[in-house]
Amino acid sequence: MRTFTAYIEWDPETNMYVGIIPGIPGAHTQGITLDELQKNLKEVLELCLEEFKDKIEDFPHFVGLQQIEVAV
């Protein structure tokens, strides 16, 4: 079992949540609710990991997020 971190945004144009899993090519999806998004992310992650199972260690590793403050 392995745990991955997803980055989630709200898209006001589509009124949907959008999620990506950094470092995994193709691991992005959307959902109307957070529960639906989590289900969709799990499904797409499993598909991506199966497709790239021999190359997963070569992908960039997610390190974290930083908040940057700027004057607007």
pLDDT tens digits for range 9-20:
999 999 999 999
Q: How does pLDDT run across 1-42, given as a tens digit for each residue?
A: 778 889 999 999 999 999 999 888 899 999 999 999 999 999
CA pair distance 69, 50, nearest whole angstrom: 39
Cα–Cα distance measured from residue 25 to residue 22, given in angstroms and rounded to the nearest whole number: 8
What value does the mean pLDDT take over residues 39-64?
86
Q: With bands split at pLDDT 50, 70 and 90, how would you rate the model's confidence at 64?
A: confident
pTM value is: 0.79
Dist. CA 6–CA 19, nearest whole Å: 6
- Are 23 and 55 spatial neighbours (Cβ–Cβ below 8 Å)? no
Walk me through the domains of the chain, giving residue ranges and CATH numbers.
Answer: 7-58 (3.30.160.250)
HSE-up of residue 24 (Cα within 13 Å, Cβ side): 25
